[in-house]
Structure 1
């Protein structure tokens, strides 16, 4: 995967804009960041997942996904090793990160493949 490939894939999701944050390109849906490029270096991207989602992606492709160091990583921020990534591996991670950041009305309009799961609530 290249920087341009990551960028095209992120910008292909509904209502995504490219902006910059702390000197790095980022991708936002309605103002919320869900992915960045070039952090910590040009060889990397980042997707903003939940810790549970991060575990699943890291387990499925450890050569591609690794938790960001420190508190951001414990919160689900996940580095993407671009050189090892393919579109087939990256697309679901970007879609998941986008879905986490997008309002429910937008994920519902975008279709079932982009909807985030409902949060279960224990009712007693």
Structure 2
């Protein structure tokens, strides 16, 4: 069920022109979540806009974030939905922290985006 949400979140980011989207299955590796989703926005306002759009989509399915951080600056926004934690970055911040490297044993999930015309 959460993988459906994960794909819906990733599709939302894709549809709103987010980039470099990756989802990692960290079940059994991380004690805090099952999935990590990481993506880039173009500028700080874009990052915040992506986060707000994700919150709207998740609210529609009855999910509220346990924790949200970084909305005031937009360089790095974290949305924690327990089973999935979403990290939205400005490209330079993502390059600096390289979160993907924290879970080298995690399985990258094929998100299979739908390209809309």
Q: Normalising by the residue count of structure 2, what TM-score does the alignment of the two structures yield?
A: 0.29
**1 or 2 for the larger relative contact order (CA 8 Å, sep ≥6)?**
2
Rg comparison, structure with higher value = 1
**Larger helix fraction of residues:** 1
